[in-house]
Amino acid sequence: MNCRQARELIPWQAAGSLPGEERTALAAHLAGCPACRTEFAQAVRLVRELRGAFARLPEPKDEVWIRTLARARGIPLGSLDVGSFLLGLSIGLSVRGGKVPLTGELKIFGHRVPLFEIEGGAR
């Protein structure tokens, strides 16, 4: 792992959400790279400070939640369409000789976020 790759992973590790293999590779790099260790220490301090600041914020009052929900009425705040994905995957895998496109998406605050799209997925 080089410094550029390590710097991409440092924020994830500082937040405690880096998967095992990448965590191990990053730890090995940090053991031999003082510059990246310094950056990692700064990221850990930043995460700690941010978590502390958010913990000190007062809880929103009930009327704030009511106004937020009223404004968001009709706009889905988030959804994951697993059923359609599994149906599409099942159909795609069962088709012989033809190609069926497979897609997966996530909707956040009413916006479509494509996860993947495979044209002519299964054969």
**What's the domain range around 105?**
72-122
Q: Answer for the pair 93, 85: CB distance below 8 angstroms, yes or no.
A: no
pLDDT tens profile 85-104: 555 555 555 544 445 555 66
Q: Answer for the pair 33, 41: CB distance below 8 angstroms, yes or no.
A: no
Q: Which of 15, 31, 56 is the last residue of a domain?
A: 56
The pTM of this model reads 0.50
Domain count, the chain: 2
What are the residue ranges in the chain where pLDDT is below 70?
74-111, 115-123
- Please check whether residues 48 and 7 belong to one and the same domain: yes
Q: What is the longest distance spanned by two Cα atoms in the chain?
A: 60
Structure tokens at 23: 């965590």
- Please check whether residues 79 and 39 belong to one and the same domain: no
Provide the 3-class DSSP secondary structure of residue 61.
Answer: coil
